[in-house]
Structure 1
Amino acid sequence: MTRTRTGLKAVSIAAALAAGSLALTGCGTTAPASPVADGGPVTVTSIDGHQISLPATGEPTAVFFFSVGCGECVNGVRSLGRAATAAEEAGDNASFLAIDMDPGESKETIGGFMDSVDAEHVPAAIDTGAALSLRFQVAALSTLIVVDAEGKVTFRATDPSAETITAELVKAGA
């Protein structure tokens, strides 16, 4: 019985030390450490070489986070493409961006995916270093956010329809 209590005491002490160590090193904190966490603009390079900044100057942007290997993401990227077409036809002042969260996927693979879901006209970029994911606190694939011209996220959803994306862009100032 004494041996068991001693063993439990040792385990309890080890657990306390480990918890203290985690607290001291900052592990488990909810705020990501990021050079772009201050809300300033973030610039990414699209797969075709263009520089794209968020927030976009003077207009809201619909940003969809995806991966080519995500089957659920197909409908979301397709909706983003349809919303981009509708906004262009309506003359809405809005931007669109598809962000691939998997840095291992090639530009060619992403381009083929965008073509296959009829969203080839939407700029796509790879979230190198997770700059946009961290900035906008996106942790899950198939997430769409609408960012207004000041950089504030005004809408967040999983796989919204093209109509919902368009309506939320209008609310954000398109």
Structure 2
Amino acid sequence: MISSRARRSLATLLLAGSLILTACGTVDKDPVSAETATAATVTSIDAQRISLPAAGKPTAVFFFSVGCGECVGGVRSLGQAAAAAEEAGIDAQFLAVDMDPREPTETIQRFMEYVDAVHVPAAIDEGAALSQRFGVAALSTLIIVDSDGQVTFRATDPDADTIVSALHKAGA
């Protein structure tokens, strides 16, 4: 018979292995079927109030952690997509969501500067509210939420062009 301590250790190992395997992935360019979320309002680390879904426009939301090496490219792509959308007059909203509530605001700000995405609002996913709402279990996940609150696109580390294209398909 396995002791409860051994069971807990085994469960912890299985969970850690599962998280490591799901944290790395590839871009899935196929839209997901009607995943709908109710409205939510988050406050960014610079005190901006951001509504999801946004009135009349889609939102690109990237889930990251400062300690995730793979996330660097994803947040950088989100910043590039935001700049390209602004330059092209595309009406869309962008949000970077830090999944680790222990990371200090200053560290997140330095990370956003490092990846050249300071123009993208960043928020901390307190209580895992956004990741639970949108069914995000892995770092480096991008979702596109249309103005009705439906997730129309989901991918891991997409490039800027893919993000902009998915925003167009979502109504931008």
TM-score between the two structures when normalised by the length of structure 1? 0.78
8 Å contact kept, 1:42–1:131: no
Determine the C-alpha separation between the residues in 2 that align with 1:88 and 1:129.
Answer: 31
The alignment of Structure 1 onto Structure 2 pairs a total of residues equal to: 139
Q: Which runs of 5+ in 1 are unaligned?
A: 1-10, 12-36
**Counterpart residue type for residue 79 of structure 1:** S
Higher relative contact order (CA 8 A, sep 6+): 2
State the Cα deviation string for residues 25-53 of structure 1 (Å, max 9, x = none): xxxxxxxxxxxx98321111100011111
CA 1:61–1:49 in 2, change beyond 3 Å: closer, same or farther? same
Partner of 1:73: 71
Partner of 1:157: 155
Determine the C-alpha separation between the residues in 1 that align with 2:164 and 2:125.
Answer: 24
Partner of 1:19: none
Tell me which structure has the larger Cα radius of gyration. Answer: 1
**What is the SS of the residue equivalent to 1:62?**
strand
Determine the C-alpha separation between the residues in 2 that align with 1:159 and 1:70.
Answer: 12
State the Cα deviation string for residues 69-113 of structure 1 (Å, max 9, x = none): 000000000000000000000000100000000000011100000
**Counterpart residue type for residue 50 of structure 2:** I
After superposition, the CA RMSD in angstroms is 1.3
Q: 2:84 aligned with 1:86, yes or no?
A: yes
8 Å contact kept, 2:36–2:149: no
CA 1:116–1:173 in 2, change beyond 3 Å: closer, same or farther? same
Partner of 2:114: 116
Partner of 1:141: 139
- Within the candidate set 118, 123, 132, 2:130 is matched to 132
Partner of 2:31: none
Determine the C-alpha separation between the residues in 1 that align with 2:36 and 2:76.
Answer: 31
**Counterpart residue type for residue 96 of structure 1:** F
8 Å contact kept, 2:77–2:159: yes
8 Å contact kept, 1:41–1:53: yes
**What is the SS of the residue equivalent to 1:98?**
strand
**What is the SS of the residue equivalent to 2:161?**
helix
Determine the C-alpha separation between the residues in 2 that align with 1:101 and 1:91.
Answer: 30
